[in-house]
Amino acid sequence: MKFYTLKNDLNLPAIGLGTWKSEPGKVGNAVIEAIKAGYRHIDCAAVYGNEAEVGEALKTAFAQGLVEREDLWITSKLWNNAHESDKVLPALQKTLADLQLKYLDLYLIHWPVAFKADVGFASKADEFLSPEEAPIINTWKKMEEAYNKGLVKSIGVSNFSLKKLKDLLVDATHPPEVNQVELHPLLQQKELLEFCDTNSIILTGYSPLGSGDRSQDMKKEDEPSLLENKVITEIAKKHNCSPAQVLLAWHLSCGTAVIPKSTNPKRIKENLESYDVSLTNEDLLKIKSLDKGYRYVDAKFFEVPGGPYKNIYDE
């Protein structure tokens, strides 16, 4: 096991179980299998639509004595339709009720993008709230309130560009402990990582394996494969491990946390065993050369005609 100590002195387990795209009917079992395998970090979000099943699994795990609540790290995320000041705490309460928990270890603003309250996923300009209508700092103030009330032990953001993170740091009373972003050898986020290191913010990487199970409408043509990348498979062969383990071990060498998703017990275990893979400097140099700023999740779905988000990555 490896942990990162956050600014608030809490220890974030470096590898967590991702639950984005984990189907209802499967995610509960995945959580149980992960805990049995030794995971102590589960990454959730309201919008994944499976927190109630995760909650049932956690209840079972505690009842069976598989793990104690205080030994588990549970992250969840505030969805885009609850950014307005009066919506943040109710959204958190709903997540806590679904997960059957008294507190979260980490609560993140899922995207720096706001929807109107009754909109599940905005696809037209008038379904969004502009940054003027729902300033991120107002949402952040409510995250701070949740922290001060003890409902969450750490707070952070997700999908924040370097610029958005810098802006938030200017105004925040309690700076974010974590920024969760897409991160893998094709998108190494060097500048963002350096800034986060300097400011003691831990980066957590999502889609570390290339998120091959995204729905077809989220996929682009000719997406590059991470798991079949030649450099990665050659390094895997050399270490007698799987390509997924190379990709996850790379995160550990970068000092970033990582949340591979799997609902398959064998792969859940395999992913945690990445802790045992030690990449050499030569491996790391080869992987460094793979960076091409490639995003599997490019968030183009927020760039609607006449909408407030030209490009949420500020690129």
Q: Which of 204, 219, 222 is nearest to 298 (CA)?
A: 219
Determine, following the binding rule CB under 6 A, whether residue 261 of this chain makes contact with ligand A2P.
Answer: yes
> Which residues belong to the annotated binding site for substrate?
110
Task: Estimate to the nearest angstrom the gap between the alpha carbon of 32 and the chain centroid.
Answer: 20
Q: Sketch the per residue contact string, 162 through 201, with ligand A2P: x for CB under 6 A, - otherwise.
A: ----------------------------------------
Assess 244 for contact with ligand A2P (CB under 6 A).
Answer: yes
Closest to ligand A2P by CB, 158 or 207? 207
CB 109, min distance to ligand A2P, A: 20
Please state the separation of Cα 143 from the chain's center in Å: 17
Residue type, 240: N
Percent helix, strand, coil in the chain (nearest 5)?
Answer: 40, 15, 45
Q: Which residues contact 61 (CB under 8 A, 6 or more apart)?
A: 31, 32, 35, 67
Interaction of residue 262 with ligand A2P, rule CB under 6 A: yes
Q: Does 242 bind ligand A2P (CB under 6 A)?
A: yes
Length of the chain equals: 315
Instruction: Decide if residue 258 touches ligand A2P (CB under 6 A).
Output: no
207 interacts with ligand A2P by CB under 6 A = yes
Instruction: Answer whether 13's CB lies under 8 Å from 41's CB.
Output: yes
**Residue 43 contacts ligand A2P per CB under 6 A:** no
- Location of structure tokens 């992960």: 34
CA 244 – CA 246 distance, rounded (Å): 5
By the 8 A CB rule, do 297 and 207 touch? yes
Report strand pairing: 257-258 vs 155-158. Answer: unpaired
Strands (E), 159-222: 178-182, 202-206
Tokens, residue 37: 């395998």
Q: Which is nearer to ligand A2P, 38 or 307 (CB)?
A: 38
Is 264 a residue that touches ligand A2P (CB under 6 A)?
Answer: yes
Reduce the DSSP state of residue 277 to 3 states and report it. coil
270 counts as binding ligand A2P under rule CB under 6 A: yes
33 binds ligand A2P (CB under 6 A): no
213 binds ligand A2P (CB under 6 A): yes
Q: x-or-dash pattern for ligand A2P, window 2-31, by CB under 6 A? A: ----------------x-------------
Binding residues: 110
Which of these segments, 40-48, 98-106, 170-178, 262-270, binds ligand A2P (CB under 6 A)? Answer: 262-270
User: Which region, judged by CB under 6 A, interacts with ligand A2P, from 103-111, 129-137, 170-178, 260-268?
Assistant: 260-268
Interaction of residue 263 with ligand A2P, rule CB under 6 A: yes
**Residue in 211, 256, 273, 312 binding ligand A2P, rule: CB under 6 A:** 211
Which range touches ligand A2P (CB under 6 A), out of 75-83, 93-101, 123-131, 203-211? 203-211
Active site annotation includes 48? yes
- The C-alpha angle 202, 212, 24, rounded to 5 degrees, equals 85
Contact 31, 54 (CB under 8 A): yes
Shortest approach of ligand A2P to residue 124 CB, angstroms?
A: 28
User: Kind and range of the H or E element at 181?
Assistant: strand 178-182
Residues that bind ligand A2P (CB under 6 A): 18, 207-213, 227, 242, 244, 260-264, 267, 270-271
| Catalytic machinery residues | 48
